Amino acid sequence: MASTADPAMAEPRAMIVVDNVHVRYSVHAAGRRASAGNRRIGDRVVGSVRQVHALKGVSFVVAEGESVGVVGHNGSGKSTLLRAISGLLPVSEGRIWADDRPVLLGVNAALLPELSGAKNVKLGLLALGVDSATAEAQIPVLAEWAGLNDFIDHPMRTYSSGMAARLKFAIGSARRHSILLIDEALATGDRAFRAKSAERVRELHDAAGAVMIVSHSMRSLRDMCTRVIWIDGGNLRMDGEPGEVIEAYQSEGGTSRPRR
Amino acid sequence: MTDLAAVAERAGLTLVGTRPRFSHYLSDAAHRIPFAATLAWYRVQASLQRNRLGLLWIVLRPMLMSLVYGVVFGFILSSAARPQNFVPFLLIGVFTIDFFTNSLSSGSRAITSNVRLVQSLGFPRVLLPFASTMEQAIRMVPTTVLLYVLLLISGEPPRWSWLLYVPILLLLWLFNLGVAMIAARVSVHARDLQQVIPIINRIVFYASGVFLSIDGLLQGAPWPFRIVQLLPTYDFLEIARDVLMMGHAAPTVAWIAAPIWAVIAFAFGLIYFWQAETRYGIDS
């Protein structure tokens, strides 16, 4: 990593501002998350419901051109953080600002499983506001990039999880000047794909986008990130140079989970 | 912690989880109409590929429905309720009401069955109910051609006023879109709505006079008749028959009420849907 200037203060423009964010939700004994949306009439709200305090006052700023890795043990609140930034999970306290509607790439596979990869590419790009002709022209480019070859014309439900993840990553990162949140979506790729996606992430922050990556693969975080934050038990434990943070995290047993 | 707010303001960032201004929302949605149109078209294609008879089903289904209703109600109906020119009356009723009932049921699933798409990509969610009614509108093209053919076969003389059926369908589309937006939001709050929709569709089917003459049936009861006359689907069926059938005049109130209903449903549906914009996709 070309060591960029000290990440202490943001001279470039801020892209994501997370201000003292708390996320609390309650979980039914059965494991369903309790919300107004799925509460059933007659459900006892007390008793079988457990409160989860997933994020306990997290604050940080991500500037233009940064790619920030997020490390932490399972259940520490990493994914919750990305979901909150993407707006898919309401915050209980605090506020989050972002430059653009962030695109969250998770592990769940296809967008529209019954349609072919090519059609998914076109729809995805149109949904992101790309015009029709450009979207059409991008299909072979992205197919090639994701290494799909002939599979691009097969329905996306027939894809392996790796193929689907690669294609989704290609779609999500196709538009310049955007915020990309990647939640373990790269874990399914092989070495060649990891190298390519690292390059893509670099291109994105050269184009003044911002990237946040949740991963258990310390190697890919070291490859791709200009900064790493460590979330521990819902708190921001450490924020700084990738080398330093990863070392501190690993010395506390962060390696217990093997690299995928 | 207010210095972070200042940083955000200096960079001109927007607060996550707040809905966009209505005017921005509309122009953003208008820009991405190609997305909704393409989605609708792909959906039609995919559904045709799944069935062996493909395109034929789009026209076979309403035809078979008409046949069943025709046979059953042709026997059962009393002479008062039995409309003049039963066959064209029934065909127009079944073909037209299908557009509404299909839009309602697919609209109610517009968000809930596309959660992955909503969670992965940021776009104005109103495009999803828009796409689902557009899908139904595309399906109406072959159906409408078939309806003209069947009307000719059943002995209706072709007239220039037949062409007015197309703008009537466009107006009905606007109405359907409004209803679909409302249903899409309601079923996000309470998915139970989807269980009730087939029942609503049945009620609409019987109350709007698809196969029986409401005017004849309710001749002696002016009050219920006046209420039924304000039913939007009744109004649309009546004006459709007015332009397609010889000697069938729709009540004036239907001609006035149908466009008013379409505009009200669309405007209310759009605002109602937009108000919950940030809720769509939040996992439950």
Spatial separation of the C-alpha atoms in residues A234 and A22, rounded to whole Å = 9
Determine the residue of chain B that is closest to A115 in CA distance.
Answer: B46
* A114 assigned to some structural domain: no
Q: Across A49-58, A106-115, B127-136, which has the greatest mean pLDDT?
A: B127-136
The answer, yes or no, to whether residue B103 has pLDDT greater than 90, is: yes
Q: What is the mean pLDDT of chain B?
A: 88
Spatial separation of the C-alpha atoms in residues A60 and A77, rounded to whole Å = 15
CATH number for the domain that contains residue A202: 3.40.50.300
Q: Write down the residue that tokens 């990553």 correspond to.
A: A169
Query: What is the Rg, in whole angstroms, of the alpha carbon atoms belonging to chain B?
Result: 22
Environment class of A11 (CB within 10 Å of its CB; exposed 0-12, middle 13-18, buried 19+): exposed
Q: Across A42-51, A225-234, B76-85, B126-135, which has the greatest mean pLDDT?
A: B126-135
* B113 assigned to some structural domain: yes
User: What is the phi/psi pair of residue B22, to 5°?
Assistant: -55, -40
Mean pLDDT of A111-138: 88
Pairing of strands A227-232, A235-240: antiparallel
* Residue A70 C-alpha from the chain's centroid: 9
- Lowest mean pLDDT segment, chosen from A72-81, B23-32, B207-216, B263-272: B207-216
Better-scored residue on pLDDT, B194 or B84: B194
Q: How many domains, in total, are found in chain B?
A: 1
Q: Write down the residue that tokens 């309401």 correspond to.
A: A90
Residue A34, pLDDT score: 54
Determine the residue of chain B that is closest to A168 in CA distance.
Answer: B120
Nearest to A17 among B8, B34, B123 (CB): B8
H helix and E strand count, chain B: 13, 1
The answer, yes or no, to whether residue A189 has pLDDT greater than 80, is: no
Asked if A177 and A101 count as a contact pair (C-beta separation under 8 A), the reply is no
Nearest to B32 among A96, A129, A172 (CB): A129
pLDDT band at residue A254 under the 50/70/90 scheme: low
Determine the residue of chain A that is closest to B1 in CA distance.
Answer: A19
Q: Provide the β-strand partners of residue A18.
A: A60, A96
Q: Tell me whether residues A129 and B123 touch, CB distance under 8 A.
A: yes
Neighbour order of strands in the sheet with A67-71: A103-105, A179-183, A210-214, A67-71, A227-232, A235-240
Residue A81, pLDDT score: 92
Q: Tell me whether residues A123 and B42 touch, CB distance under 8 A.
A: yes
Write the CA distances from B128 to A72, A230, B32, B34, B125, integer angstroms: 36, 37, 11, 12, 6
- Å between B96 CA and nearest CA of chain A: 29
Mean pLDDT of B196-220: 83
Q: What percentage of chain A exceeds 90 in pLDDT?
A: 21
The answer, yes or no, to whether residue A169 has pLDDT greater than 50, is: yes
Environment class of B21 (CB within 10 Å of its CB; exposed 0-12, middle 13-18, buried 19+): exposed
Nearest to B278 among A36, A87, A172 (CB): A87
Mean pLDDT of A124-148: 88
Better-scored residue on pLDDT, B281 or A236: A236
Better-scored residue on pLDDT, A224 or B93: B93
Mean pLDDT of B136-155: 93
Spatial separation of the C-alpha atoms in residues A99 and B7, rounded to whole Å = 12
- Residues of B with CB below 8 A from A132's CB? 34, 38
Q: Tell me whether residues B32 and A115 touch, CB distance under 8 A.
A: no
Determine the residue of chain A that is closest to B43 in CA distance.
Answer: A115
Asked if B100 and B168 count as a contact pair (C-beta separation under 8 A), the reply is no
Residue A11, pLDDT score: 65
Better-scored residue on pLDDT, B46 or B163: B163
Nearest to A13 among B4, B11, B116 (CB): B11
Mean pLDDT of A4-26: 74
* B10 assigned to some structural domain: no
Q: Tell me whether residues B119 and A99 touch, CB distance under 8 A.
A: no
Give every CB contact of residue A167 below 8 A, 6+ residues apart in sequence. Answer: A117, A120, A121, A142, A143, A146, A148, A156, A159
Q: What is the mean pLDDT of chain A?
A: 79
* B80 assigned to some structural domain: yes
Better-scored residue on pLDDT, A205 or A232: A232
The answer, yes or no, to whether residue A38 has pLDDT greater than 60, is: no
3-state secondary structure of B19: coil
Determine the residue of chain B that is closest to A90 in CA distance.
Answer: B17
Better-scored residue on pLDDT, A74 or A46: A74
The answer, yes or no, to whether residue A30 has pLDDT greater than 70, is: no
Pairing of strands A210-214, A179-183: parallel
Residue B33, pLDDT score: 95
Residue B62, pLDDT score: 85
Mean pLDDT of B93-104: 94
The answer, yes or no, to whether residue A19 has pLDDT greater than 80, is: yes
Pairing of strands A227-232, A67-71: parallel
Nearest to A94 by CA among A236, A227, A238: A236
Asked if A108 and B114 count as a contact pair (C-beta separation under 8 A), the reply is no
* B185 assigned to some structural domain: yes
User: What is the phi/psi pair of residue A185, to 5°?
Assistant: -70, -15
Pairing of strands A33-34, A14-28: antiparallel
Mean pLDDT of B74-93: 80
The answer, yes or no, to whether residue A1 has pLDDT greater than 60, is: no
Q: Tell me whether residues A96 and B31 touch, CB distance under 8 A.
A: no
The answer, yes or no, to whether residue A258 has pLDDT greater than 50, is: no
Q: Tell me whether residues B117 and A19 touch, CB distance under 8 A.
A: no
Q: Write down the residue that tokens 């006052």 correspond to.
A: A57
User: Which tokens go with B165?
Assistant: 């059926």
The answer, yes or no, to whether residue A190 has pLDDT greater than 90, is: no
Mean pLDDT of B69-82: 75
Asked if B122 and B14 count as a contact pair (C-beta separation under 8 A), the reply is no
Residue A260, pLDDT score: 39
Determine the residue of chain B that is closest to A125 in CA distance.
Answer: B35
- Residues of B with CB below 8 A from A37's CB? 188-189, 279, 282, 284
Q: What percentage of chain B exceeds 70 in pLDDT?
A: 97
* B209 assigned to some structural domain: yes
Domain that holds residue B120: 31-277
Q: How many domains, in total, are found in chain A?
A: 1
Q: Tell me whether residues B34 and A132 touch, CB distance under 8 A.
A: yes
Domain that holds residue A197: 14-38+46-109+159-256
Phi-psi region at A149: left, alpha or beta (left = phi > 0; alpha = psi -120 to 50): left
* B12 assigned to some structural domain: no
Long-range contacts of A189-198 (CB under 8 A, 24+ apart): A189/A162, A189/A165, A190/A162, A192/A147, A193/A147, A193/A162, A193/A166, A194/A220, A194/A223, A196/A145, A197/A169, A197/A224, A198/A223, A198/A224
The answer, yes or no, to whether residue A10 has pLDDT greater than 50, is: no
The answer, yes or no, to whether residue B176 has pLDDT greater than 60, is: yes
pLDDT band at residue A5 under the 50/70/90 scheme: very low
Q: Provide the β-strand partners of residue A214.
A: A70, A183
The answer, yes or no, to whether residue A92 has pLDDT greater than 90, is: no
Mean pLDDT of B185-194: 88
Write the CA distances from A144 to A103, A107, A139, A167, integer angstroms: 22, 21, 9, 10
pLDDT tens column, B35-71: 999 999 999 988 887 777 777 888 888 888 888 888 8
- Lowest mean pLDDT segment, chosen from A41-50, A71-80, A247-256: A41-50
Q: Tell me whether residues A88 and B282 touch, CB distance under 8 A.
A: yes
Residue B80, pLDDT score: 65
Mean pLDDT of B7-20: 86
Q: Which of A13, A88, A182 to mutate to test the interface with B (most CBs of B within 10 A)?
A: A88
- Å between A217 CA and nearest CA of chain B: 22
- Residues of B with CB below 8 A from A18's CB? 4
Asked if A147 and A117 count as a contact pair (C-beta separation under 8 A), the reply is no
Residue A2, pLDDT score: 43
Residue B115, pLDDT score: 82
Nearest to A8 by CA among A94, A66, A71: A66
pLDDT tens column, B250-264: 888 899 999 999 999
pLDDT band at residue B86 under the 50/70/90 scheme: confident
* B13 assigned to some structural domain: no
pLDDT band at residue A28 under the 50/70/90 scheme: low
* B2 assigned to some structural domain: no
Asked if A9 and A172 count as a contact pair (C-beta separation under 8 A), the reply is no
pLDDT band at residue B98 under the 50/70/90 scheme: very high
Determine the residue of chain A that is closest to B122 in CA distance.
Answer: A101
The answer, yes or no, to whether residue A164 has pLDDT greater than 90, is: no
The answer, yes or no, to whether residue B72 has pLDDT greater than 90, is: no
Q: Write down the residue that tokens 């076969």 correspond to.
A: B153
The answer, yes or no, to whether residue B243 has pLDDT greater than 90, is: yes
- Residues of B with CB below 8 A from A128's CB? 121-123
3-state secondary structure of B217: helix
